[in-house]
Amino acid sequence: MTMDMKQLWKRYGPLAIILLVVIVITAWRYALNPQTTTAVLASTLRQSTPLVLGALCGLLGERSGVINIGIEGQMLLAAFIGFLTSVWTGNLLLAVLAGVGVGALLGLLLAFMSVTLKMDQIIGGTVINILAFGLTGYFYQAGLTTQGKLRPIPLGALADIPLIGPVLFNNPPITYVTLLLVVIIHYVLFYTRWGLRTRAVGEHPRAADTVGINVYLVRYTNVVLGGAIAGLAGAYLTLEAVGSFERAMTNGRGFVALAVMIFGKWTPFGAWGAALLFGLATAIQTQLQFAGELAIPHQFIGMLPYVLTIVVLAGFVGRARPPAAIGQPYETE
């Protein structure tokens, strides 16, 4: 019994402390200034959305043994195609689907490179990154505009709850989908047959193969699904967050998502927590500049999210164990 407690504490202790601190500070800030607190928390959720989606993309692939450092490229090209579809058809749903489709297609390309061609997976991802950067830059045209982006949908009475309502229940659709995806992927990964197979393939493909699991199929499916989710992140950028496309607008978010995935120890909830932490730090650095009272140059405030990530990672999270068979192409015998 004490052993269990000890293990529980070891596993969730730091998390609980962080959570407690955040809750206390939030409550305190809320008592002082409800409007600002709401604004910061809502911003936290927004900033974290593309990171969570990117991290989910990464972890689906990696759980099955395929590294995906091409998240940035998948997001960028999907953002671009989603935007073009919106310009041409004026249909936002279609545009989101187009973004998701392109993401899946790039996932297919990555799976083809890493599973079928057995190319080094880091190269595969890098190819996607450069390709997406080049293609979007080359084919982007000036003067394309869309009218409108995805609008927030208040969830009835839930949206009227103070603090929680405006932060959680008055969001545009992709943000809701993201929250759902975290739960769904957690469930699928740890409580379904498919998840078991995925993890088996990621840990010990040879053994998985022996018991009749099709390693290639599992990897292909996961990487393509991951691509689709990265595509959704791209669609989020152009169709929900901004409403327009700019070259290289992902600005490294795909790489931060990668960091968020590892930070979250390859679990959906972990990634979500890590992304929220990062989003919160970003929102707070903006708020500190808004307040304008600090005499420090804004570059030092701007470092906050990155330094905080390193500190938390080094101080609380530490070593994380990735799936054992990660990065290795599988050869059937």
Partner 1 sequence: MKKRTALLTTFLLLLALLLVACGGGGEEPAANEGSTTTTEETTNEEATNEEATNEETTTEETGEADCASEEVFCVGLVTDVGEIDDKSFNQSAWEGVKRAEAELGAKIDFIETKDAKDYATNIGLFADNGYDVIVTVGFALGEATAEAAAAHPDIFFIGVDQFQAWPFDDDASNDLPNLAGLIFPEDKAGFLAGALAGMMTESNTIAAVLGTDLVPPVVAFKEGYEAGARFVNPDINIISTYHPGGLDVAFTDPEWGASTAKQAIDQGADVVFGAGGKTGNGAIIEVANHEGVYCIGVDTDQWETVPEAHPCLISSAMKLITPGVFDLISAAKDGNFPAGNFVGEVGLAPFHDFDSVIPQEVKDRLNEIDTGLRDGSIETGYNPGG
Partner 2 sequence: MTTEQENLEQTTASSVGMALLRVWRGVSVPITAVLLAVVIGAIILLVSGASPVAAYSALIKGSFGDGDAVARTLEKATPLVLSGLAVAFAFKAGLFNIGAQGQLLFGAIIAAALGFGIEGLPAIIHIPLALFGGALAGALYGAIPGALKTYTGAHEVITTIMLNFVAINITDFLANGPWKDTSPGNIVARTPKIAPSAVIPEIGNVPLGFVLAVLAAVITWWLLWHTTLGYEIRTVGLNPHAAEYAGIRVAWITILTMMLSGLLAGMGGAIETQGVVGRYQPGFNVGLGFDGITIALLGKTHPFGVIPAALLVGAMKAGASQMQFDAGVANEITDVIQALILFFVAADLIVRWILRMRETDEEKITLSTGWGKQ
H/E segment holding residue 154:
strand 153-154
User: Rule CB under 8 A: is residue 322 a binding residue for partner 2?
Assistant: yes
- Across the chain, which distance is largest between two alpha carbons, in Å? 66
> Cα–Cα distances in Å, from 88 out to 61, 81, 111, 144?
32, 10, 30, 9
CB 289 within 8 A of CB 108: no
Task: Give me the least distance between CB of 61 and partner 2, in Å please.
Answer: 12
User: Helices in 68-204 by DSSP H: which ranges?
Assistant: 71-89, 92-111, 121-139, 164-168, 173-191, 193-203
Write the binding mask 87 to 116 for partner 2: x where contact by CB under 8 A, - elsewhere. Answer: --------------------------x---
Quick one: what does residue 38 bind among partner 2, partner 1, none, with the CB cut-off 5 to 8 Å set by partner type? partner 1
Interior angle at CA 281, CA 288 and CA 269, nearest 5: 155
The residues near 127 (Cβ < 8 Å, ≥ 6 apart) are 70, 113
> Cα–Cα distances in Å, from 301 out to 34, 257, 295?
23, 21, 10
Quick one: what does residue 258 bind among partner 2, partner 1, none, with the CB cut-off 5 to 8 Å set by partner type? partner 2
Measured from the CB atom, the residue of 110 and 239 that comes closer to partner 2 is 110
- For partner 1, the binding residues (CB under 8 A) are 35-36, 38-40, 42-43, 46-47, 50, 80-81, 84, 102, 105, 108-109, 112, 116-117, 135, 138-143, 145-149, 151, 166, 237, 241-244, 246-249, 251-253, 282-283, 285-287, 289-292, 298-299, 301-303
**Among the listed residues 110, 135, 132, the one whose alpha carbon sits nearest the alpha carbon of residue 123:** 110
Q: Which of 262, 276, 277, 280 binds partner 2 (CB under 8 A)?
A: 262
H/E segment holding residue 153:
strand 153-154
Task: Give me the least distance between CB of 212 and partner 2, in Å please.
Answer: 25
Write the binding mask 112 to 141 for partner 2: x where contact by CB under 8 A, - elsewhere. Answer: -x---xxxxxxxx-xxxxxx-xxxxxxx--
Task: Give me the least distance between CB of 101 and partner 1, in Å please.
Answer: 9
Q: Which of 32, 314, 332, 333 binds partner 2 (CB under 8 A)?
A: 314
Task: Give me the least distance between CB of 225 and partner 2, in Å please.
Answer: 20
Burial of 153 (0-12, 13-18, 19+ CB in 10 A): middle
Task: Give me the least distance between CB of 312 and partner 1, in Å please.
Answer: 18
The residues near 219 (Cβ < 8 Å, ≥ 6 apart) are 64, 65, 66, 111, 114, 115, 201, 330
Phi, psi of 13 (to 5 degrees): -55, -60
Task: Give me the least distance between CB of 148 and partner 2, in Å please.
Answer: 28
Task: Give me the least distance between CB of 147 and partner 1, in Å please.
Answer: 7
Quick one: what does residue 151 bind among partner 2, partner 1, none, with the CB cut-off 5 to 8 Å set by partner type? partner 1
Residue carrying structure tokens 């070593």: 319
CB 46 within 8 A of CB 168: no
Tell me how many residues contact partner 2 (CB under 8 A).
Answer: 55
What residues make contact with partner 2 under the rule CB under 8 A? 67, 113, 117-124, 126-131, 133-139, 252, 255-256, 258-259, 262-263, 297, 299-300, 302-303, 305-307, 309-310, 313-315, 317-324, 326-329
